[in-house]
Structure 1
C-alpha cells in the first residue's frame, strides 16, 4: 500500500477547517404541527471536530434525524488531501461500502420475497443450483441475510481474477467453514450470492434493479452504482489501488471492483442528503406513516428485528445489524432493538424506531493512506446524539 507522508502532513495542518455545521429543518412537517427547540448538539460537533484533528478521518459529514426532521447536520475537514486539498461539502458523494448490503441488496431480495418468488427458509440452491457445491446444499436465503451461513468472510483474492463470471464461479465453489445456522460469521460472500439471486430472479443486473425499484421510487438522484463522470469532482477518494492509482469513483472493495463495480455486498455511492431521505422513508414506512419506501411495513419489521436462526446469540435482522460486535454505532444510549450498519470506508447509519431517530456518519477514513479509524467516533457520536435527543434517561 502506498503512503503519502506529505499529504498526511497537509491533513494534520488543516484538520480544523470547518466547512459548515448547522441545524436543518426537514421538508416533512413536525409531527405535532410545530417545531420543537433544536437539540443541543455541541457535544456531537466537538467530537466530530476532534476526529478530524486526531486524523481519525480527513473529513466528516454527519446528519441526525429525529421526529421526522433532520435536526442537525455538520460538515468538517476535507474531502480530499491529495493530490489537491479539497474542502468537505454536504453534497460530497461517498463510497458507501457495506451499507450497500442493507440499503440495496436486502430490500431487493425482500421485494422479490413479497412477490412470492421464494421462501426465506428455502435453500439457495433451489434457485442457484451451482450453489449446492462444496457442502452448501443446506444453506438457506435466511442464512445469507443474517450471516449465519457458515461461509468465510471473503472471496479468495490471492490470485488476480477478474470479472463477474469468475466471481460467480468462485462464489458457487466456496466451502463453508462451519455448519449453516451454527454461528454468526459476517461474510461478503453471503451478499455477493444474494446479488446473484436478485439478478437470477429479476432478469436485471443489480444496478439496474436498484435504480428502477429502490432509488427512483425514493427520489434518490445522487445515488447508485458506477457513478457518472459528472459526479467525480464531488466524490470522496479512498486510497490507492494495487497499482498506486487513487480510487475516486471506483469502488474500494477489491472483490466488487474486480466484478466491475456492481456487487451485492458493495458498490453503492451516495450523499448525506439522499441517505437522510432513505432513513426517513424507512422509519416512516415501518411506523405505518405515508412513505415512498418500496416495501410493506410488515416486511420492514422482519428486516429490522432479530431473524437469525434459533439459538443464535448475535442478533441480526434480514440485512440489518441489531446486536453483534459490529454494533458500536448504537452507542451507549440507543436501545437494543435499534438497528443499523457500517461500511469499511468509514460510513455508518443507525436507526432507532422507538424514538424516531437516526444517526448518519459519512467519512472516507481510508484517505489517503488507509490509516483512519472511525469505530470509536461512531460510538461517541451516537451516544452524544441520543443524550441530546432523549436526555440522560434515554434508551
Structure 2
C-alpha cells in the first residue's frame, strides 16, 4: 500500500454528508446509520447518525451490533470454504453431490462448489423453506429437492440457496456447527469480539444490538435474533445469513483480506486463497463475481459502491441494510451499517438502492 492519505472530513464535504444521511433518516430509509471509512488499517471516518430504533431517543452508538444478513455469505461461508480447501478437505471443482448425495440428481449432479460461490449454479434466487415445514429435516430436504431455474453457467442468479447449501457442506465436512467452526477458525484468531451468531442466546444485555423487524411469523420484534426466516429455521446459523457484527470488527476482517490473509501476525487464509476470492471468476457474457463477493466490472451500470470505487472493487450488501466495499489496489474500505428493515421490509428498498451509491461517491470524492 502507498502512503496513507490524510483526509479532512469537515467543511462543505461534511455538510453534504450530513445532509444526505439526515434526509434519508427523515424519509425513513433507515432509523440510524454507522459509517466507517478507512484506508487499510487507518480509520479516516467513523461516525453515526440517527436513532437505534423507532420510539426511542437512544442514538445509534458507535460499535452498535447489527444483523449483517447476507454479509454472512462472504465473511463466514466463503472464508470457511476456502480454509477447508487449504486443509485438503474439499475442492471447489468437486460436485455438491459429493458432500450432499441427496442433492445431486440429473442435471444438478454437475453443480460444483465453485458454481455455488459464483452464483452460476442456475438455482433460483430464493425459496420459502420454512413455512409449512414441521422440522429442520423437512426444510433441509426441500433445499435438496430444489430444481434449477436455468442450466449451469448460463446466467448469474444471486441465490441464497447456493449459500444455504454451502453452509450444509461445511457442517458435513467439519462435523461441527457453522458457528463453532467460525469461532475457532476466524472469530477468535482475529479477535472479532462482537461478531457471533445468535447473540440473544449468549448475551443477557441486548441493548447494544440494533433491532430489525417485527416478525409476523415469529410474532415479536427481533433483536439479537436473525431476521432471515430460512436461516432461523436452519438453527440461526445457515450459510446465507445469521452473523451479527460491528463496524470495527468488519474493518479488522477487511484488513486481513487486504493484507493477503494475515493480520497482527495471525494467518487466516493463504495469499493464494485471498487472490482467488478477490479475482473475477466468471467469463463473459456472465456477470462478474469474485468467490462469494461481488466484483465491480468496467461495464457501466448500477453499483451499490457508486461510480468512484474503481473496477476490481470487492463488496457485498445485506438485506437488513448493511454493506462492505473495499478496493484491493488503493485499500479503501467502506463499511455501512443500518437496520433499514426496522422501518419496513420492502417499502424503503428503492430509497436504499438510491442512497448506497450516493454515499459511496461522497466518501470517495474526498480522497
Structure 1: gaps spanning 5 or more residues: 1-29, 390-395
The 1:339/1:104 distance shift into structure 2, 3 A limit, reads: same
For residue 224 of structure 1, the aligned residue among 196, 217, 230 is 196
CA distance in 2 between counterparts of 1:208 and 1:380 reads 38
Match of 2:62 in 1: 90
Change beyond 3 A, Cα 1:271–1:54: same
Note if contact 2:34-2:338 (Cα within 8 Å) is conserved in structure 1.
Answer: yes
Deviation at residue 312 of structure 1 after TM alignment: 4.3
After TM superposition, the structure 1 = structure 2 runs for residues 122-271 of structure 1, keeping only pairs within 5 Å, are 122-133=94-105, 135-157=107-129, 159-227=131-199, 228-243=202-217, 244-271=219-246
SS in 2 for 1:250: coil
Q: Is the 8 A contact 1:284 1:291 kept in 2?
A: no
- 1:366 is the counterpart of 2:341: yes
Once residues 45 and 52 of structure 1 are traced to their aligned partners in structure 2, the CA distance between those partners, rounded to angstroms, is 10
Consecutive aligned runs of 4 or more in structure 1 exceeding 6 Å deviation: 324-327
Match of 2:270 in 1: 296
> Which of the numbers 5, 20, 23 marks the counterpart of 1:47?
20
| Structure 2 SS opposite 1:316 | coil
Which secondary structure does the structure 2 equivalent of 1:207 belong to?
helix
Pick from 356, 371, 384 the counterpart of residue 362 of structure 2. 384
Question: How far apart are residue 185 of structure 1 and its match?
Answer: 0.6
Aligned-partner SS, 2:333: strand
Runs (5+) with no aligned partner, structure 2: none
Give the 3 Å change call, closer, same or farther, for CA 60–291 of structure 1 in structure 2: farther
Residue 314 of structure 1 and its aligned partner are, at CA, apart by 0.6
Shift of 1:86: 2.5
> Does the Cα contact within 8 Å between 1:133 and 1:172 map onto a contact in 2?
no
Q: Secondary structure at the match of 1:61?
A: strand
The two structures have a TM-score, normalised by structure 2, of 0.90
Cα distance in 2 for residues equivalent to 1:179 and 1:109: 24
User: What is the CA–CA distance in structure 2 between the aligned matches of 1:225 and 1:316, rounded to whole Å?
Assistant: 26
> How big is the shift at 1:108?
0.3
| C-alpha distance 200-158 of structure 1, shift in aligned 2 (>3 A) | closer
CA distance in 1, matches of 2:205, 2:271: 33
Matches within 5 A, 1:114-129: 114-129=86-101
Q: 1:122: Cα distance to partner?
A: 1.4
Native 8 Å contact 1:31 1:68 kept in 2: no
Aligned length: 356
**Closer, same or farther in 2 for the Cα pair 1:295/1:231, shift >3 Å?**
farther
Write out per-residue CA displacement over residues 97-120 of structure 1, whole angstroms, 9 at most, x where no aligned residue: 000000000000000011122221
Q: Partners of 1:157 and 1:170 in 2: how far apart? A: 6
Q: CA deviation at 1:292?
A: 3.6
Contact 1:62 1:272 in 2 (8 A): yes
Match of 1:63 among 36, 55, 59: 36
Alpha-carbon distance in 2 for matches of 1:291, 1:382: 31
Q: Which moved more, 1:69-78 or 1:367-376?
A: 367-376
TM-score by length of 1: 0.84
Q: For the Cα contact (< 8 Å) 2:40–2:258, is it kept in 1?
A: no
Please state whether the residue corresponding to 1:232 is helix, strand or coil: coil
Instruction: Report the Cα distance in structure 1 between the residues aligned to 2:244 and 2:232, rounded to whole angstroms.
Output: 13
Give the Cα separation in 1 of the matches to 2:130 and 2:268: 39
Aligned to 1:313: 286
1:315-344 residue CA offsets vs partner (Å, 9 max, x unmatched): 001100014799622211111100100000
Structural RMSD (CA): 2.3
Q: Could you tell me how far 1:36 is from its partner in structure 2?
A: 3.1
Q: Secondary structure of 2:291's match? A: coil
1:88 match: secondary structure: coil
